[in-house]
């Protein structure tokens, strides 16, 4: 068994008195696609945001290549990292949001080349030629000079994927990347994600697209009420769910699909 790229141990998160994550343990292996599904409010987004410390976990730990995220040892004592120390670790984890969050005052090309230039100090010419390659890869080669508001939702999300890839992350987190899109635009984003999976990009994807989970994911996690209820090979879990809660959820979503 190889050591996992990402490991989550006994992760808990509360907002005030409301416990949203009640002890999550999970592993993500290099090159795998992990899909997380579950009913609304089950804590999927919160889990994803705890992985890169956009939310600070209440307890428990996340390890990337064995290194704790947001925490550091100094001798016997454990310290929280400063924002800028955390920024170094976050470079290794890209994220794609449901609402895209592209930079509206920058063109598609600038959106992609900005972070490599100012964070990693890549010279402009190289950053831009790499950004052009990434845009071509997500099918936006002819849209490099467009501003986000001149792009369709699907194009914006593909640009956001290129932006996340530009930092050459170890893994990419996706939080419902197609939920804000019109049905006819979902396919183009999913097909870009399929290509990435084929190339061996490690991805953690919160999604409602069951067919994507079945066809692309190596691992499926079903969450409910802040815990992982069931997980395993996606085809197996979807065809023969063992838990009653999984069965109820699947019959609900597959019925509407």
Partner 1 sequence: MPETKTKPTPSRDIHAATPVPVRHMGQWLAGAVLLVVALLFLEVLVNNPNMQWAVVFEYLFSPDILKGLGITLMLTLLAMLLGLLLGVILAVMRLSSSRVFQSVAWGWIWFFRGVPPLVQLIFWYNMALLIPRITISVPFGPTLVNWDVNDLITPFSAAIMGLAFTESAYAAEMLRAGIRAVSGGQTEACATLGMTRWQSLRRIVLPQALRIVIPPIGNDTISMLKFSSLVSILALPDLLYSAQMIYARTYQTIPLLIVATIWYLVLTTAFTLIEHAVEAHFDVTRSRPSLSRALVSNLKAPFALRRKEDLA
Ligand X SMILES: Nc1ncnc2c1ncn2[C@@H]1O[C@H](COP(=O)(O)OP(=O)(O)OP(=O)(O)O)[C@@H](O)[C@H]1O
Contacting residues toward ligand X, per CB under 6 A: 15, 20, 38, 40-46
Residues 62, 11 contacting (CB under 8 angstroms): yes
Residue 205 sits in the site that holds partner 1 (CB under 8 A): no
Nearest approach, Cβ of 205 to partner 1 (angstroms)? 15
Q: Pick from 34, 42, 45, 178 the residue near Mg ion by CB under 5 A.
A: 45
Angle value at C-alpha 105, between 102 and 107, nearest 5 degrees: 70
Task: Indicate the residue whose CB is closest to Mg ion.
Answer: 45
Which of 126-134, 162-170, 213-221, 243-251 is the region at the interface with partner 1 (rule: CB under 8 A)? 162-170
3-state helix, strand, coil in the chain (%, to 5): 40, 25, 35
CA atoms of 166 and 94, how far apart (whole Å): 9
Nearest approach, Cβ of 84 to partner 1 (angstroms)? 5
CA atoms of 28 and 119, how far apart (whole Å): 26
**Structure tokens that stand for 191 in this block:** 């097909």
CA atoms of 211 and 235, how far apart (whole Å): 10
Phi, psi for residue 144 in degrees, rounded to 5: -55, -35
Nearer to ligand X among residue 45 and residue 201 (C-beta): 45
Residues 70, 86 contacting (CB under 8 angstroms): yes
Residue 42 sits in the site that holds Mg ion (CB under 5 A): no
Nearest approach, Cβ of 156 to partner 1 (angstroms)? 12
Nearer to Mg ion among residue 45 and residue 155 (C-beta): 45
Residues found near Mg ion in the complex (CB under 5 A): 45
Residues found near partner 1 in the complex (CB under 8 A): 52, 54, 83-84, 87-88, 90-91, 93-95, 97, 99, 101-105, 114-115, 118-119, 147, 149, 163-164, 167, 173
């Amino acid at each position: 068994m190889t050591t996992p790229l990402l490991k989550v141990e006994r992760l808990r998160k509360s907002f005030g008195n409301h416990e949203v994550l009640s002890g999550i343990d999970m592993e993500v292996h290099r090159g795998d696609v992990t899909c997380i599904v579950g009913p609304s409010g089950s804590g999927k987004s919160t889990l994803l945001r705890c992985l890169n410390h956009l939310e600070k976990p209440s307890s428990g730990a996340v390890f990337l290549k064995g290194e704790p995220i947001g925490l550091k040892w100094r001798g016997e004592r454990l310290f929280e990292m400063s924002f800028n120390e955390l920024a170094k670790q976050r470079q290794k984890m890209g994220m794609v949001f449901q609402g895209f969050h592209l930079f509206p005052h920058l063109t598609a090309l600038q959106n992609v080349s900005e972070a490599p230039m100012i964070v990693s100090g890549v010279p402009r010419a190289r950053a831009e030629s790499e950004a052009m390659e990434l845009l071509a890869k997500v099918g936006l080669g002819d849209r490099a000079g467009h501003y986000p508001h001149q792009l369709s939702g699907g194009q914006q999300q593909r640009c956001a994927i290129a932006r996340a890839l530009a930092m050459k992350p170890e893994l990419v987190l996706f939080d419902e990347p197609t939920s804000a899109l019109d049905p006819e635009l979902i396919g183009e984003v999913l097909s870009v994600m399929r290509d990435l999976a084929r190339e061996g990009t490690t991805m953690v994807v919160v999604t409602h697209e069951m067919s994507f989970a079945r066809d692309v994911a190596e691992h499926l996690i079903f969450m409910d009420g802040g815990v992982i209820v069931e997980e395993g090979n996606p085809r197996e879990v979807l065809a023969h769910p063992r838990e009653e809660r999984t069965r109820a959820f699947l019959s609900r979503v597959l019925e509407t699909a």
